[in-house]
Structure 1
Amino acid sequence: MTATGRPATRRQMLAGTGALGLGIAFSGALSELFAGTAAAGTLGRAGYGPLVPDPKGVLDLPEGFRYRILSREGDPLRSGEGPVPSNHDGMSAFEGRGGRVHLVRNHENRHNGRIPVPAVEGLTYDPAAKGGCTALTLDSRNHVLSERVAIAGTAVNCAGGPTPWGTWLTCEENEDKAGTNGYAKDHGFIFEVDPVDPHRTGAVPLTAMGRFQHEAIAVDPRRGVVYETEDAFEKPFGLFYRFLPHRPLGGRGSLRAGGRLQAMRVPGVPDLSTIQDIGAAFDGIEWVDVPDPQAAQTPIRLQDFGRRGITHAQKLEGCYWGGRSVYFVSSFARTGEGSAADHYGQVWRYDPERRRLTLVVVFGPDTDVQLPGESPDNICLAAGGGLMVCEDGEGAQHVYGVTRRGEVYAMARNRQNIGGPEEPEWGEFAGVTFSPDGDTMYVNCYTPGTTFAVTGPWRR
Structure 2
Amino acid sequence: MDISRRKLLKSGVAVSAAFGGLATLAACSDQRQIPSLSIDKYGKLIADPNGIMDLPKGFAYKILSKAGEKMDDGLLVPGDFDGMAAFAGKDGTTILLRNHEINAKDLLNESKDASKTMSPFGKQDELLDNIDQSRIYDRNKDGRPMAGGVTGLVVDPGPLHVKRQWLALAGTYDNCGGGPTPWNSWISCEETRKRAGEKCYKDHGWAFEVQADPELGLQEPVPLKGLGRFKHEAAALDPATGIVYLTQDDWGHPSLLYRFIPDMPGKMTEGGRFQALMVRGQPARDMRNWPTSKGKKVKLAEWFETDWVDLKDSHNPENDLEDRGIKAGAARFTRGEGAWFGDREMFFACTDGGAAKSGQIWRYVPSEFEGTEFESSKPGRLQLFVESPDKAVMEYCDNLTVAPWGDVLVCEDEYADGNGNNYLRGVTPQGKIYTLARSALKQKNEFCGACFGPDGKTLYVNLQQDALTFAIRGPWHEL
Q: Give the deviation of 1:342 after TM superposition.
A: 6.0
Q: Give the deviation of 1:350 after TM superposition.
A: 2.4
Q: Do the aligned residues in 2 keep the contact of 1:52 with 1:61 (CA within 8 Å)? A: yes
1:116 equivalent in alignment to 2:119 = yes
Residue 235 of structure 2 is matched in structure 1 by 217
Q: Secondary structure at the match of 1:327?
A: strand
**AA at the equivalent of 1:349:** R
Q: Do the aligned residues in 2 keep the contact of 1:79 with 1:146 (CA within 8 Å)? A: no
Residue 349 of structure 1 is matched in structure 2 by 363
| Correspondence list, 1:163-242, <5 A | 163-180=181-198, 182-197=199-214, 198-199=216-217, 201-235=219-253, 237-242=254-259
Match of 2:440 among 408, 415, 421: 415
Residue 46 of structure 1 is matched in structure 2 by 40
Residue 177 of structure 2 is matched in structure 1 by 159
Q: Give the deviation of 1:33 after TM superposition.
A: 7.4
CA RMSD of aligned residues (A): 2.4
Pairs aligned (count): 398
Residue 385 of structure 2 is matched in structure 1 by 361
Residues of 2 paired with 1:385 and 1:349: CA distance?
13
Q: Secondary structure at the match of 1:303?
A: helix
Q: What whole-Å deviation, never above 9, does each CA across 1:283-334 have from its counterpart, x for those lacking one?
A: 2x2222212111112431133775x533221111111112222222212238
Residues of 2 paired with 1:201 and 1:314: CA distance?
33
Q: What whole-Å deviation, never above 9, does each CA across 1:229-273 have from its counterpart, x for those lacking one?
A: 1111113x1111110111113xxxx21112111112223252212
**AA at the equivalent of 1:101:** T
TM-score in terms of structure 1 length: 0.81
- Percent of aligned pairs with the same amino acid: 38
Q: What whole-Å deviation, never above 9, does each CA across 1:176-223 have from its counterpart, x for those lacking one?
A: 01111x211110000000111445852111112110000001111111
**AA at the equivalent of 1:185:** K
**AA at the equivalent of 2:269:** R
Q: 1:387 to 1:208 in 2, by over 3 A?
A: closer
Q: What whole-Å deviation, never above 9, does each CA across 1:349-384 have from its counterpart, x for those lacking one?
A: 223313243323232436xx5322x11112211123
Q: Give the deviation of 1:147 after TM superposition.
A: 0.5
Q: Do the aligned residues in 1 keep the contact of 2:249 with 2:335 (CA within 8 Å)? A: yes
Q: Give the deviation of 1:74 after TM superposition.
A: 1.9
Residues of 1 paired with 2:92 and 2:343: CA distance?
26
Residue 90 of structure 1 is matched in structure 2 by 83
**AA at the equivalent of 1:80:** G
Unaligned runs of 5+ in 2: 1-22, 29-37, 111-117, 122-127, 141-145, 290-296, 368-377
**AA at the equivalent of 1:273:** R
Q: 1:402 to 1:265 in 2, by over 3 A?
A: closer
Q: Do the aligned residues in 2 keep the contact of 1:133 with 1:150 (CA within 8 Å)? A: yes
Match of 2:138 among 120, 126, 139: 126
Q: 1:280 to 1:409 in 2, by over 3 A?
A: closer
Residues of 1 paired with 2:382 and 2:411: CA distance?
23
Q: 1:301 to 1:342 in 2, by over 3 A?
A: farther
1:311 equivalent in alignment to 2:331 = yes
Q: Give the deviation of 1:86 after TM superposition.
A: 1.0
Residues of 1 paired with 2:190 and 2:454: CA distance?
26
**Higher deviation after alignment, 201-210 or 380-389:** 380-389
Residue 299 of structure 2 is matched in structure 1 by 277
Higher relative contact order (CA 8 A, sep 6+): 1
Residues of 2 paired with 1:443 and 1:406: CA distance?
22
Q: Do the aligned residues in 1 keep the contact of 2:40 with 2:435 (CA within 8 Å)? A: no
Residues of 1 paired with 2:190 and 2:162: CA distance?
27
Q: Secondary structure at the match of 2:269?
A: helix
**AA at the equivalent of 1:50:** K
Match of 2:160 among 142, 148, 154: 142
Unaligned runs of 5+ in 1: 1-31, 38-43, 335-340, 419-425
Q: Do the aligned residues in 2 keep the contact of 1:67 with 1:454 (CA within 8 Å)? A: yes
**AA at the equivalent of 2:54:** D
Q: Secondary structure at the match of 1:436?
A: coil
Q: Give the deviation of 1:427 after TM superposition.
A: 0.8
1:61 equivalent in alignment to 2:82 = no
Residues of 1 paired with 2:461 and 2:79: CA distance?
15
Q: Give the deviation of 1:436 after TM superposition.
A: 0.8
Q: 1:49 to 1:282 in 2, by over 3 A?
A: closer
Q: Do the aligned residues in 2 keep the contact of 1:96 with 1:102 (CA within 8 Å)? A: yes
Residues of 2 paired with 1:245 and 1:288: CA distance?
16
Q: 1:391 to 1:200 in 2, by over 3 A?
A: closer
Residues of 1 paired with 2:150 and 2:58: CA distance?
32
**AA at the equivalent of 1:313:** F
Q: Do the aligned residues in 1 keep the contact of 2:193 with 2:231 (CA within 8 Å)? A: yes
Match of 2:278 among 262, 265, 268: 265
4+ runs of 1 displaced by more than 4 Å? 198-201
TM-score in terms of structure 2 length: 0.78
Residue 101 of structure 1 is matched in structure 2 by 94
Q: Do the aligned residues in 2 keep the contact of 1:190 with 1:205 (CA within 8 Å)? A: yes
Q: Secondary structure at the match of 1:112?
A: helix
Residues of 1 paired with 2:361 and 2:260: CA distance?
21
Q: What whole-Å deviation, never above 9, does each CA across 1:12-34 have from its counterpart, x for those lacking one?
A: xxxxxxxxxxxxxxxxxxxx973
Residue 310 of structure 2 is matched in structure 1 by 289
